[in-house]
């Protein structure tokens, strides 16, 4: 099953047009580990960073950030100085009197901005995983400044003239295939950022980018602050009725972290929310929690996002029109595997039919249980998780609490490292000497088949105040070989319930799959073997980036992995074969619900970004728009969007998934079709398939177009048959 709460790494200054800080997507130029020496022309800003740890030589293991030395006040002067250095580097490229060459223009651009990248990457860790009012204030201030800084580079006429000159005669240049690809992608990025615009249009595009950066940052911060302001206090035994011990322990730990020792609270972290919605027998409290969950960012309070949605949509439409596209969705999909919004919508429609039919069958099982229990009220959204779990127990003899007893976090971590070793020959060894930004964070060193150091992997798995919800990958440094071997520093973040001290962290099967999903993104960064940082790791088509993550989920649910690594947290015994068989049989027990709530959100996201009338957008009623899209699609009344618009970060907190939430389903076609190759081989670790997966995808970065990479691995283009089959849906998909 796809995990559209999981997302990829972070933007960096030059490679893509920045519209926010801490955005979820891809790493760019690696942070240099050398000490930074300002030139005389930079002394004004250089004086402000004397003694600043962000501009010191990092003597930590593997030149990792010395997090304990870094304070919020270090960032604003560091950003100012790093941007000054970056401007000088760009000016040196643009004003070079020598004719443009790959070395003095494209390779020089690949090197430019390393100081800024280093500062931004560390800052993004704090703003996403350990934020505070101080960091939020800096983020609000810096987002538009960084957008302006990047726009000035991408719209620099002299700079683009050099890139354009090289692109125009690229076939005559003596470039290797990787250099050809870097040149093509660099030119495309400049064009899509408006480099071919002139006069007032060029200036307006830069202004829009700055405004979007501000609005999207505000949207993201509103969602987090609104979520953090809510806590459902379970005051009595009746309030806690139905909750298993693990959920009670997590609720007690969440209360303790907020200074409420001896109490129990449920937060709006997804693990906390879904556990309560599944097991609580208090329907009134389930409704309270559900409404708080769905109304984040849309409660008419100081954190309300509805006006921001309208303003963001208007600016995106104007941006797309300036670049010659009818809609933002057309602009968004033009540089992807899908190519057009129609192609994206066609895929959503194809899977929707089977998802709705499957959800209807699930609803029939739920209604039978409700009738048997004498329940007379209608099935509402806050009932679905609760009765779906009862249906799974009755019709499939699977108890989620019993399954969780075998899915302890440390066992899942061991499983994913073992899978990576068997597929790709890499090994992970935990390190205690690498600085971290929070005590919950753990670090592992990855070594290659030859035993040589290949990178570091940071794992941050528990929810806490100051950490945004969801799951994502980040990177403090990306791999490249431009100036010698630079090894990556990759982070995974999740938001699971933290157990009380001395108790195990038990996961649901879905949560265990997310651990593998994010690790797939992590491996995409860690295994990268390219020369140029702009095409490293996950710097691929936006609807291909989820493929390496989603294919990794298949190993988590494979019987060979479960039977070895799913061990009871008390006895150490492996999961009994009968429970494993029942769990496999029940894998799609809720896939109708899961696919409907996801596709409903994708429908709405795409519909927003296909709007063409500015007046209609300016007067948009968000609730009515959602209802209209879902009614037209025939969405079941008891299932809502996975993400309602006011907290839909994929759509409105950054540009990366805006108009592109469909990409999880697009990648779902790829990952199901791709893993089918291992199933056809009869070995989930088939050496030849693992080799081609490594060479074509995990190590290849963006050396070639995404479809070419997939075909190189699979031997043909993908079909939807495996996805529909694996999700228990019906349709006319083809293998």
| Residue located via tokens 């240049």 | 173
CA angle 229, 230, 232 (to 5 degrees): 150
C-beta neighbour count of 97 within 10 angstroms? 4
3-state secondary structure 335-373: CCCCCCHHHHHHHHHHHHHHHHHHHHHHHHHHHHHHHHC
Q: Which helix (H) or strand (E) segment is 7 a member of?
A: strand 6-7
What amino acid positions are annotated as catalytic residues?
A: 518
DSSP-assigned letter for residue 728: T
Q: Are 699 and 423 in contact (CB under 8 A)?
A: no
3-state secondary structure of 571: coil
How many Å apart are CA 525 and CA 520, to the nearest integer?
A: 9
Q: How many CB atoms within 10 Å of residue 701?
A: 30
Dihedral sign for Cα 696, 486, 337, 552, please.
positive
Helical H segments across 104-258, by residue range: 108-111, 114-129, 133-154, 157-168, 177-192, 199-228, 245-257
For the purposes of burial, counting CB atoms within 10 Å of the CB of 206, is it exposed (0-12), middle (13-18) or buried (19 or more)? buried
Long-range contacts of 304-307 (CB under 8 A, 24+ apart): 304/222, 304/646, 305/219, 305/222, 305/223, 305/645, 305/646, 305/647, 305/652, 306/622, 306/645, 306/646
Instruction: State how far Cα 189 lies from the chain centre.
Output: 21
Question: How many CB atoms lie under 10 A from the CB of residue 506?
Answer: 26
Nearest to 591 by CA among 277, 351, 271, 294: 351
Taking each helix axis from N to C end, the angle separating 509-526 and 409-424, rounded to the nearest 10 degrees, works out to 40
When computed from its CA atoms, the radius of gyration of the chain, rounded to whole angstroms, is: 25
Pairing type for strands 232-233 and 471-477 reads unpaired
Query: What letter does residue 553 receive in the DSSP assignment?
Result: H
Residues 82, 118: contact at Cβ < 8 Å?
Answer: yes
Return the half-sphere exposure (C-beta side, CA atoms, 13 A cut-off) of residue 311.
16
């Amino acid at each position: 099953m796809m995990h559209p709460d999981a997302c990829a790494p972070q933007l960096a200054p030059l490679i893509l047009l920045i519209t926010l800080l801490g955005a979820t997507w891809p790493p760019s130029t690696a942070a240099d580990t050398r000490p930074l020496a300002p030139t005389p022309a930079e002394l004004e800003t250089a004086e402000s960073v004397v003694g600043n740890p962000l501009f010191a030589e990092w003597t930590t293991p593997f030149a990792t950030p010395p997090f304990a030395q870094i304070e919020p006040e270090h960032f604003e002067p560091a950003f100012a100085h790093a941007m000054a250095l970056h401007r000088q580097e760009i000016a040196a490229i643009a004003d070079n009197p020598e004719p443009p060459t790959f070395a003095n223009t494209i390779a020089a651009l690949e090197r430019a901005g390393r100081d800024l990248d280093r500062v931004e990457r560390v800052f993004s860790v704090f703003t996403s995983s350990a934020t505070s009012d101080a960091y939020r204030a800096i983020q609000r201030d810096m987002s538009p400044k960084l957008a302006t800084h990047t726009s000035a580079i991408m719209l620099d006429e002299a700079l683009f003239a050099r890139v354009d000159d090289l692109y125009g005669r690229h076939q005559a240049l003596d470039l290797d295939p990787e250099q050809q690809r870097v040149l093509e992608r660099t030119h495309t990025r400049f064009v899509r950022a408006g480099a071919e615009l002139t006069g007032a249009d060029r200036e307006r595009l830069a202004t829009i980018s700055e405004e979007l950066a501000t609005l999207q940052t505000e949207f993201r911060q509103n969602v987090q602050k609104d979520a953090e302001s809510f806590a459902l206090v379970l005051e009595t035994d009746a309030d806690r009725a139905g909750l298993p011990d693990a959920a009670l322990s997590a609720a007690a730990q969440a209360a303790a972290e907020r200074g409420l020792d001896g109490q129990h609270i449920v937060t709006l972290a997804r693990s906390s929310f879904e556990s309560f919605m599944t097991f609580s027998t208090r329907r009134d409290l389930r409704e309270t929690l559900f409404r708080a969950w769905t109304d984040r960012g849309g409660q008419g309070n100081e954190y309300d996002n509805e006006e921001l949605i309208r303003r963001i949509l208007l600016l995106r439409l104007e941006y797309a029109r300036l670049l010659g596209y009818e809609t933002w969705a057309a602009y968004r999909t033009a540089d992807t595997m899908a190519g057009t919004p129609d192609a994206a919508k066609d895929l959503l429609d194809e899977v929707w039919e089977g998802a709705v039919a499957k959800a209807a069958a699930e609803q029939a099982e739920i209604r039978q249980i409700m009738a048997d229990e004498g329940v007379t009220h209608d099935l509402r959204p806050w009932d679905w998780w609760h009765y779906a779990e009862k249906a799974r127990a009755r019709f499939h003899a699977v108890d989620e609490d019993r399954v969780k007893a075998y899915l302890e976090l440390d066992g899942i971590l061991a499983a994913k490292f073992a899978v990576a070793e068997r597929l790709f020959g890499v090994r992970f060894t935990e390190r205690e000497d690498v600085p971290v930004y929070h005590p919950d964070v753990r670090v592992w060193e990855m070594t290659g088949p030859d035993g040589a150091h290949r990178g570091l992997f940071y794992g941050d798995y528990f929810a806490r105040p100051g950490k945004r919800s969801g799951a994502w990958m980040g990177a403090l440094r990306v791999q490249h070989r431009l100036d010698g071997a630079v090894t990556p520093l990759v982070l995974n973040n999740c938001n699971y319930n933290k157990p009380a001290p001395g108790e195990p962290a038990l996961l649901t099967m879905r949560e265990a799959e997310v651990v593998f999903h994010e690790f797939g993104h992590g491996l995409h960064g860690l295994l990268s073997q390219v020369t140029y940082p702009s095409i490293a790791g996950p710097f691929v088509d936006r609807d291909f980036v989820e493929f390496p993550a989603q294919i990794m989920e298949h190993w988590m649910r494979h019987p060979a992995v479960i039977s070895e690594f799913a061990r009871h947290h008390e006895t150490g015994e492996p999961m009994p074969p009968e429970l494993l068989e029942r769990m496999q049989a029940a894998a799609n027990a809720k896939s109708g619900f899961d696919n409907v709530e996801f596709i409903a959100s994708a429908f709405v996201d795409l519909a927003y970004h296909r709007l063409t009338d500015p007046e209609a957008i300016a007067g948009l009623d968000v609730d009515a728009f959602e209802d209209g899209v879902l009614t037209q699609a025939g969405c079941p009344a008891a299932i809502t969007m996975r993400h309602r618009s006011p907290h839909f970060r994929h759509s409105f907190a950054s540009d990366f998934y805006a108009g592109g939430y469909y990409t999880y389903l697009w990648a779902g076609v790829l990952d199901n079709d791709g893993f089918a190759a291992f199933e056809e081989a009869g070995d989930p670790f088939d050496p030849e398939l693992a080799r081609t997966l490594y060479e074509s995808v995990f190590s290849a970065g963006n050396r070639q177009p995404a479809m070419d990479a997939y075909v190189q691995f699979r031997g043909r283009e993908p079909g939807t048959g495996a996805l529909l089959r694996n999700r228990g849906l019906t349709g006319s998909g083809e293998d």
